[in-house]
Amino acid sequence: KAGVTQTPRYLIKTRGQQVTLSCSPISGHRSVSWYQQTPGQGLQFLFEYFSETQRNKGNFPGRFSGRQFSNSRSEMNVSTLELGDSALYLCASSLEQGFGYTFGSGTRLTVV
Amino acid sequence: GENVEQHPSTLSVQEGDSAVIKCTYSDSASNYFPWYKQELGKRPQLIIDIRSNVGEKKDQRIAVTLNKTAKHFSLHITETQPEDSAVYFCAARGSSNTGKLIFGQGTTLQVKP
């Protein structure tokens, strides 16, 4: 079965711009989480969605937002990009909320 | 706040030896502890997980142990092989009714042939 699909794989943006990243979970999975991975901070939780509702939000500024659609696909948006937003953004989905998350390959965002 | 500490940060072993990575979590309400393996340039892959109602779980050469009293959990890899070389992350699920995982900082395991 298909895994978690994230698009695009790579993205280069300029400071001040905004970006939207997409995540298609494994078929049947309704729980989707997003993480930011950087060499210095490791894996940090951004948001969690279940049945189109944001269940949790990590300690990130309001420039980071997300949503989940009725087909469980999810998007995250970062506005007014800063150099420090350069990171690998990972999406993970699971069948049972809170357990057994499968990660996608991520979107590598570079802000210049 | 919620925190997971992972040790060591790097680990080098000879092929065939065992490797042990340890994690400590702060939230006593945590009830789920997965381990992920991430090879260079690839996605984190779930290799084993344990829930708080179980003390130990084994899957072939990999095992995880959990000590809820001490808030410790460990990954044990036996008969290591060069393909085990990767970064390993432990994580703890936050308090119940959440999908939020708190990750450790990672351990770079190198298995020398």
Instruction: List, for residues A26-80, the tens digit of each pLDDT value.
Output: 999 999 999 999 998 999 999 999 999 999 999 999 999 999 999 999 999 999 9
Flag if A90 and B43 touch (Cβ within 8 Å). Answer: yes
Residues 6+ apart with CB under 8 A from B63: B48, B56, B57, B75, B76, B78
Please tell me if residue B25 touches chain A, with a CB cutoff of 8 Å.
no
CA distance B75 to chain A (A): 17
Query: Nearest CA to CA, how far is A82 from chain B (Å)?
Result: 23
Strands of chain A, DSSP E: 5-7, 10-13, 19-24, 31-38, 42-50, 53-57, 64-68, 74-78, 87-94, 102-103, 107-111
Closest CA to B33 of B69, B77, B3, B64: B64
d(CA B76, CA B65): 8
Q: Do residues B98 and B1 lie in contact, with contact meaning Cβ atoms separated by under 8 Å?
A: no
> Confidence class of residue A16 from pLDDT cuts 50, 70 and 90?
very high
Q: Do B99 and A105 touch (CB under 8 A)?
A: no
A24 Cβ under 8 Å from any chain B Cβ = no
Residues of chain B in contact with residue A102, where contact means CB-CB under 8 angstroms, are: 46
